[in-house]
Amino acid sequence: MSAATKVAVIGSGNIGTDLMIKVLRLSSTLEMGAMVGIDPASDGLARAARLGVPTTADGVDGLIAMPGFDEIEIVFDATSAGAHRANAAALAPYGKLLVDLTPAAIGPYCVPAVNLASLLGGDEPVTNVNMVTCGGQATIPVVAAISSVVPVAYGEIVASIASRSAGPGTRANIDEFTETTSAAIAAVGGAARGKAVIILNPAEPPLIMRDTVLCLVDAPDAAQHERIRAAVDDMVATVQAYVPGYRLKQQVQVVPVPPDQPVHTLTDRPVTHQVTVFLEVEGAAHYLPAYAGNLDIMTSAALRVGEVLAERATRTEEIVA
């Protein structure tokens, strides 16, 4: 059996710490090589040290200077969009595979249930994979499922997350969240046009992540409606394979667009029906409470990508050998 692939996590906040714990608890192919932060007093660094993971509070420069840096093959970045741009530039000379959990979108968008296989199977090597956003990971699979049946003229998503689960990085990246998610709804989901909205819900006790997907389609045939529902059901099951708390709240709704509804303000393509899908994401509570499904779906998706990257690298090494 080949040795596990060593990875580093940059960002000792909520997302980075949850991802570290997932690697330690759930992965048989990945091994924590370093936890990287900039706050020596952060809980993530303290937790990593207690778990025997090498740590540095000197950011990416500290990571590069660590004795085991050469052995690390994959670097997960759970900081912010601006920080990732700087981190990617600093790591570029070292040939590491980067998995970006920020909305920086330097590399191609990746939603594992939709395009991971095609992304890694292309002719060009992928060195920086962007995980879009939590809202994107939750909703783009549904848009892609619908667009696999009928063209989606317009796709809109609303992601509602508990305010308490939104840390400084999320709050600093609200603009990037909406821009990156909107672009990925089209690029990965297949919609002709995408729009994203995020809501930080201040309710107490905190509510788990809720997502609404609205798609405008040209689907006059009732048989198409049943194929849409079946495609969404299949996609939900695919996502559940790596995010167990991901689920539909009710049956997919497919209703005619009223003649007086001004859909021309959203698209100039022919539209007959509106498809509405209601989702919720309950977290696995590895590090944070179950209501933080927005963090759980990001770290679960990133873990899946990291494991597939590691498996691909191992196969390549075996072929070369």
**What single string gives the DSSP state of each residue in 89-156?**
HHHGGGT-EEEE-STT--S-B--HHHHHHHHHTSSSPP-EEE---HHHHHHHHHHHHHHTTS-EEEEE
- For the cut 90, the answer to whether the pLDDT of residue 314 exceeds it is no
How far is Cα 184 from Cα 234, in angstroms, rounded to an integer? 21
According to the model, what pLDDT value does residue 11 have? 97
As a CATH number, domain 5-131+297-320 is 3.40.50.720
d(CA 246, CA 209): 10
pTM of the full structure: 0.94
Average pLDDT, the chain: 95
Active site (catalytic) residues = 134
- Mean pLDDT, range 37-66, rounded to an integer: 98
- Position 295 scores a pLDDT of 95
Domain 134-290 CATH assignment equals 3.30.360.10: yes
pLDDT average, residue stretch 203-209: 96
**Mean pLDDT of the 4-29 span:** 97
Element (H, E) at 276: strand 273-281
Q: Average pLDDT, stretch 163-170?
A: 88
Q: Is the pLDDT of residue 59 over 80?
A: yes
Contacts of 232 (CB under 8 A, 6+ apart): 142, 145, 146, 248, 252, 277
pLDDT value at residue 190:
98
User: Cβ–Cβ contacts within 10 Å for residue 57, how many?
Assistant: 15
Average pLDDT rounded to a whole number, residues 277-297: 96
Domain ranges of the chain: 5-131+297-320, 134-290
In this predicted structure, what is the pLDDT of residue 87? 98
